[in-house]
Structure 1
């Protein structure tokens, strides 16, 4: 490959080189098997959830609409990074085009914002269902759900448009080797010839604001749920209903928050640990969300069993 693309500043013909997982380049087969297995589980699990929700007319409640949104976001999230990661580990194809790199960056960071928004919407859904059950359908009608979904998507796009513009305008005249498994914002911005701190500060402030606001509203929602159900007979049922959502929240926010601050302030954290944590933050929730909801949500569990039973019966006939 010619060296010119690595020395030219902003050029549409330029490209970057993704390392994969730094210091683990000697284990491409193991990494390929790990990430391909995760990708298959995430695709199959989320596709089953979407198929069940689409085919079963009894799953038309707002919570199932939000669950469908979550599944779509998870599929887009893992598809934006894992195929390229597999090409690095399995095909030794580490080059990614200039435009493709920033498209991947846009998709990754916008979908993480959108996933946080859907988790907030699901917490509000549980609050209304438990604290205002008689008004549940009136408040969360189809129009309201569509508006919530649109607002979630617009927020993710509006957050990423300025950041993408700031990063693409940076001159990349140094090494084009990205010490990451995908085009993560800070990993790419640090390759610029000029100071990347403005985009870093914007990313940090925007991520902190989005996550902080969403977590605060989720905490308020669950605080009001606790206030409503404590001491009542419906307490156990409420905790059972909210249990799977709380599991998903922990799966997403704990590694996510640690990853965000490790990228910006983790000078004492190895690059390998930062990359693996960032991969875990994106892949683990997408892989486990369908499993958690299938096991903990009675309606989804029953619908999956019904679909599998019908498929088995039709094959036997």
Structure 2
């Protein structure tokens, strides 16, 4: 056993090491398209004043979270596939895992907020604008992000403090 290894080795897709370069190309293409599409969505919502309504602002939050989520995953994966950089520090791995799960939980919370927005718009359309103010949208966005970060943190603390023995670093 290895006691708290400083570096872990990520092998990519076992058995397909010889074709991982080619597997990385579609991932990179999807990443670039998603990055471009979400960035374009953010620019359009920011520039068009008529789109400053709760549903579109939630959509912008979802786009920003999607950009952040894909950016915390793809660079390391492409580094493994294309440049044969399998090493990752244990703390960096934990941080990346925290980011992935936090952004996933944030997306889930934003989708819940979007559903609540549509519920209020359907059930009480005359008061929708007074209920969903920009201040409430900011509070919902901060609350969803904080909830996600706090829900994921205990798992990583337990992994860091309690998980002491490894059979392999690969």
Q: TM-score, normalised by structure 1?
A: 0.52
Rounded to whole Å, the distance in 2 between the matches of 1:172 and 1:95 is 19
Give the 4+ runs in structure 1 shifted more than 4 A: none
Whether the 8 Å contact between 2:98 and 2:152 is mirrored in structure 1 is yes
Please state if 1:95 is matched with 2:87.
Answer: yes
- Tell me how far apart the structure 2 counterparts of residues 35 and 156 of structure 1 sit (CA, whole Å): 26
Equivalent in the alignment of 1:84:
76
**SS class of match (1:133):** coil
The aligned runs of 1:9-158 (5 Å cut-off) are 9-10=3-4, 14-158=6-150
Q: Please tell me whether residue 176 in structure 1 is matched to residue 169 in structure 2.
A: yes
> Aligned equivalents of 1:174 and 1:46: distance in 2?
41
Residue 128 of structure 1, CA deviation: 1.4
Three-state SS of the structure 2 residue aligned to 1:96 is strand
2: CA distance between counterparts of 1:83 and 1:16? Answer: 17
Q: CA deviation at 1:117?
A: 0.4
Question: Where in structure 1 are there 5+ consecutive unaligned residues?
Answer: 1-5, 178-317
Change (3 A) 1:50 1:172: farther
The alignment yields a C-alpha RMSD, in angstroms, of 1.4
1:133 shift after superposition: 1.0
Bigger RCO of structures 1 and 2 (CA < 8 A, at least 6 apart): 2
Cα drift, residue 98 of structure 1: 1.4
What is the rounded CA distance, in whole Å, between the counterparts of 2:109 and 2:4 in structure 1?
Answer: 33
TM-score by length of 2: 0.94
CA distance in 1, matches of 2:120, 2:141: 17
Distance 1:30 1:100 in 2: 26
- Partner residue in 2 for 1:259: none
1: CA distance between counterparts of 2:51 and 2:77? Answer: 35
Unaligned runs of 5+ in 2: none
